[in-house]
Amino acid sequence: MSDTALLGTWIRCFLLDYLVSECNLARNTQRSYRDTLTLLLPFAALQIKKEVDQISVIDLSAEVVRHFLQHLEDSRKCGITTRNQRLAAIHSLARFIGLRSPEHVAWSGQIRTIPPKRAPRSAITYLEKSEMDALLNAPDQSTDQGRRDHALLLFLYNTGARADEAAQAKILDLAIGHSPRDHSLVQIRGKGNKLRRCPLWPQTVGELSRLTASRPSTDHVFLNRYGEPITRFGIHTMVERYVRKMLPAMPTLAGKRVSPHTIRHTTATHLLRAGVDINTIRAWLGHVSLNTTNVYAEVDMEMKAKALATCEVRGPAAKRHWKKDVRLMEFLHNL
């Protein structure tokens, strides 16, 4: 069997060259594709009764892929969103092989015709202003860790940054203004290594200035208790810890699954309520498409209620006799 017939040869080129050099995908996306193939190959090997290294391209048939997707849902209890993400990675691999290997064009087409499964859109969770204020006040700011946590929560709320974006932020990414007329900014590296700049509130500037004082500019802004850069998993754990602490005093949080991404949704919703233009919010959050940002206008019940009030149909006004119209009589007497 030639090397080009073996699936492993193509996978190496796909992961090491195509995703990195040509697509320039974010590291987390590369890991997601890798994880998909890590799950797929052992499953396919069992299905076709071959060693992983001996699987050919055509061995990975559309039927095997469909069985794999069903296995994700049934055995691994994955949701439809995860199932579709795995399928997207397989589609990308099939397209990569089909464009470079004419003998596998038909195989590529069969794989790529496997459709994603439709899933109901889940409601976006966000925090009301009182809930967000309570979360910001949850850390004990008399301790070093509490001050770090408060600054991190404030940074997430101010910028709407994803957990990984906050974890990767470095001191040199901060542009602190030295006068009230100078706008303080942070440069955030988002998905696909896209850069965006986000303004910082004066309170955020003060917290970050104290947190980063006397530290090298190449340091990450947020460190863990061991002095190492905090990870996105650490940020998730930190948010969940404070939410548990708040539950007795804030029972409305019991029905919400709060994560760093919930704070991102909260930022967008509160900006929208404050009258910020939807396109500005799109740039603020780093969305590629305005359709992604428009979802916040759909979920905010407060704004829906205000919009409804402006077009409310009212009954006919009660007619009054002209003699009882005091304003009209005053007008006539003053002529």
pLDDT tens-digit series, residues 50-61: 999 999 999 999
Which of 57, 83, 112 delimits the end of a domain?
Answer: 112
322 part of a folded domain: no
Please give the C-alpha separations between residue 173 and each of 12, 182, 186, 208, in angstroms, as whole numbers: 34, 16, 6, 12
Instruction: Please indicate, yes or no, if residue 334 is contained in any of the structural domains.
Output: no
The tens digit of pLDDT for each residue in 238-254 reads 999 999 999 999 998 98
User: Residue 45's domain spans which residues?
Assistant: 3-112
Given this model, what pLDDT does residue 60 score? 96
Residues 181, 42 within the same domain? no
* pLDDT score for 3: 59
So what's the pLDDT on residue 279? 83
The answer to whether residues 103 and 140 belong to one domain is: no
Query: Do 45 and 169 sit in the same domain of this protein?
Result: no
CB atoms within 10 A of CB 277: 10
pLDDT at 131: 94
Q: How many domains does the chain have?
A: 2
Residues 299 and 189 in one domain: yes
Residue 165 and residue 214 in one domain: yes
Can you tell me the distance from the alpha carbon of 150 to that of 141, in angstroms, rounded to the nearest whole number?
7
CATH of the domain at 21: 1.10.150
pLDDT of 325 over the 70 cut: no
> The pTM is what?
0.71
Same domain for 167 and 277, yes or no, is yes
- Strand pairing category for 174-175 and 195-199: unpaired
How confident is the model over 69-118, as pLDDT tens digits? 999 999 999 999 999 999 999 999 999 999 999 999 999 999 999 999 98
The answer as to whether 8 is a domain residue is: yes
Q: Is residue 314 part of a domain?
A: no
174-175: strand order across its sheet: 174-175, 185-189, 195-199
Q: For residue 318, name the pLDDT band (cuts at 50, 70, 90).
A: low
Are both 37 and 147 inside the same structural domain?
Answer: no
Q: Looking at the domain assignment, is residue 133 inside a domain?
A: yes
323 confidence band (pLDDT: 50, 70, 90): low
Same domain, 262 and 304: yes
Q: Which residue has the higher pLDDT, 192 or 251?
A: 251
Q: What is the pLDDT of residue 57?
A: 95
Q: Are residues 278 and 164 in the same domain?
A: yes
Residue 152: inside a domain: yes
- Return the bridge partners of 174, or none: 186
Answer whether residue 304 shows pLDDT above 80.
Answer: no
252-294 pLDDT, tens per residue? 898 899 999 999 999 988 888 888 888 888 888 888 776 667 7
Question: Which residues are marked as active site?
Answer: 162, 191, 261, 264, 287, 296
Last residue of a domain, one of 61, 81, 112: 112
* Chosen domain end from 112, 141, 176: 112
Cβ–Cβ contacts within 10 Å for residue 77, how many? Answer: 8
In a domain, 330, yes or no: no
The answer as to whether 325 is a domain residue is no
177 and 202 co-located in one domain: yes
Same domain, 88 and 133: no
Cα separation, 225 vs 230, in Å, equals 9
Query: Which CATH number fits the domain that encloses residue 226?
Result: 1.10.443.10
Looking at the chain, the whole-number percentage of residues with pLDDT higher than 90 is: 64
> For the chain, what percent of residues have pLDDT higher than 70?
85
pLDDT of residue 322: 53
Pair (273, 222) in one structural domain: yes
